[in-house]
Amino acid sequence: MTHPPHRGRSRLQQLRRRVDNAMFTRARYSQPMMPVMCLLGGLFMPLYWFLWTYVLPQPYTNLGLHVAGCVALLPLALQRWWPRAFKPWLPPYWYAVITFVLPFFFGYLLLRNGGTIVWMGAHLFSIFITMMLFDLASFALICTVGTALAALAFQLGPHEAWPWHALLQYAPVLALTLILGPLASLSQKFADEAKVKALIGASNNIAHELRTPLGSVQMAGRAIGRYLPNLLESHRVAERAGLPVAALRGPHLQALQRGIAVIEHEVNHAHTVIDMLLMAAKPMGTLQFEPLHARACVVQALARYPYASQAERERVQLSTAPTDFVLVGSETLLTHVLFNLLRNALFHTGRAGKGEILVSLDSDAAGHCIRVRDTGPGIPPDVLPRIFNRFYSHSDGRDGTGLGIGLAFSQSAVERMGGRISCRSRWGEYTEFFVTFPPYVPSGQGLSA
């Protein structure tokens, strides 16, 4: 059995992956602002050193800190040109730099300058900027770590007495800021919830507005298919009788017959796309789970998938090995998971102009697996860890919809059925998705989600 990549991974690695994904998810909302803000911040660092040293002299300045902040910020301003091998390190580097240039930098200079009014305002400014850039959890982490490091650096380095009197005066304003300010960081959570609701509403509207005309088109196509043979026969009888009827050439007749099949195919394709969109957008609700034969589900999914052409259908192959196993789940969920994987594989192999798709089933004592492998363009290494994140999309990613919901839905659906989905890819060579399930233990009772 070809084992999926998560097998044998240590808990430490799994924890690192979860932390990395959480960090990426929380950092990507501020990523559009990152280049401009970091460019301006990097330029203002030396400018403010000059200001606080010669124009508005402060009790303490440190050119080294300003230069370090400038050097740390400028790479973020140039993130577009980072090599792909370095891009997975962008979120942790972003966290580290902001921790240094905002809470640490301003906290340390606040202490070294004796808590003056100027530095109280500057420190308060750094707090607000941090709130704007991150969600509540990240804001708390960055401010706590940065402030603790600033206090430690002040205590261990050369310093005057702690400016307790100034800090006590500053404390009420800072406390009010820390209590009321984070409410603004909840806006991203509300925005995500609003996005989900909007997607559900749009999906329902699409279903309502399109299914009725699609049904009418389908009924009209079936009516044409039913009565066209009679009309053609009547035309031939009229021709034999010498009646003045327009001539119908063989290619015309073939086009009519093909047109009926095209109508039926395209309507079924549209219904399937609507079903996939609705299934991925709305909550799964309560589903009755039951024992399913995996091979039968895979065969049915491959047969039902609305391929765009015969060439596309021939690109997908099912392994001839007679492997089968039983899993506990929902046939509807599993079918739509396979649809999503097929759609992604077909889209990217088609766009690359190369690649075949092989669907296979593997089974051993440790568990069961449905594997979807394509020899298309693969997934870039900086994109691969993010493909299951909801609303994450990338120009080189696997989600052809651009909404970032297909693979996120697949992960939720598989986990709902007690399994796991993972991916292994080599950029430029292949991509493999593994849908794994635990061994089936007959219990005699159905399971509900």
Question: CA–CA distance from 387 to each of 337, 381, 384, 417 (Å)?
Answer: 14, 11, 6, 20
CATH of domain 288-443: 3.30.565.10
- Per-residue confidence (pLDDT) for residue 400, from 0 to 100: 41
Q: pLDDT tens, 315-334?
A: 999 998 888 999 988 888 89
Q: What is the mean pLDDT of residues 94-121?
A: 93
* Rounded Cα–Cα distance for residues 74 and 220 (Å): 63
The answer to whether the beta carbons of residues 399 and 379 sit under 8 Å apart is: no
- Per-residue confidence (pLDDT) for residue 397, from 0 to 100: 41
- Per-residue confidence (pLDDT) for residue 13, from 0 to 100: 58
- Per-residue confidence (pLDDT) for residue 432, from 0 to 100: 94
Q: Is 9 left (phi over 0), alpha (psi -120 to 50) or beta?
A: beta
Report whether pLDDT(355) > 80. yes
CA 394 to chain centre: 8
| Residue 268, C-beta contacts closer than 8 angstroms, at least 6 positions apart | 306
* Rounded Cα–Cα distance for residues 30 and 34 (Å): 6
- Per-residue confidence (pLDDT) for residue 316, from 0 to 100: 92
Report whether pLDDT(205) > 90. no
The tokens of 59 are what?
A: 């009790």
- Greatest mean pLDDT range, 20-24, 206-210, 433-437: 433-437
- Per-residue confidence (pLDDT) for residue 396, from 0 to 100: 42
Q: pLDDT tens, 364-391?
A: 777 899 999 999 888 887 778 778 877 6
* Rounded Cα–Cα distance for residues 411 and 409 (Å): 5
* Rounded Cα–Cα distance for residues 189 and 136 (Å): 10
* Rounded Cα–Cα distance for residues 449 and 439 (Å): 18
Report whether pLDDT(336) > 90. no
User: Of all residues in the chain, what percent carry a pLDDT higher than 90?
Assistant: 29
Question: Domain boundaries in the chain?
Answer: 11-162, 198-281, 288-443
**Which phi and psi (to 5°) does residue 439 adopt?**
-55, 140
Question: Minimum mean pLDDT among 45-54, 217-226, 348-357, 417-426: which range?
Answer: 217-226
- Per-residue confidence (pLDDT) for residue 57, from 0 to 100: 92
- Per-residue confidence (pLDDT) for residue 350, from 0 to 100: 85
The tokens of 115 are what?
A: 């808590």
User: Of all residues in the chain, what percent carry a pLDDT higher than 70?
Assistant: 76
* Rounded Cα–Cα distance for residues 22 and 20 (Å): 5
- Please count the CA atoms within 13 angstroms of the CA of 260 that sit on its side-chain side: 16
- Per-residue confidence (pLDDT) for residue 360, from 0 to 100: 94
- Per-residue confidence (pLDDT) for residue 22, from 0 to 100: 60
pLDDT category at 50 given cuts 50, 70, 90 is very high
Q: What is the mean pLDDT of residues 191-220?
A: 67
Buried b (16+ CB within 10 A) or exposed e, 394-415: eeebbbbbebbbbbbbbbbbbe
Radius of gyration of the chain (CA): 30
- The answer to whether the pTM exceeds 0.75 is no
- Per-residue confidence (pLDDT) for residue 185, from 0 to 100: 55
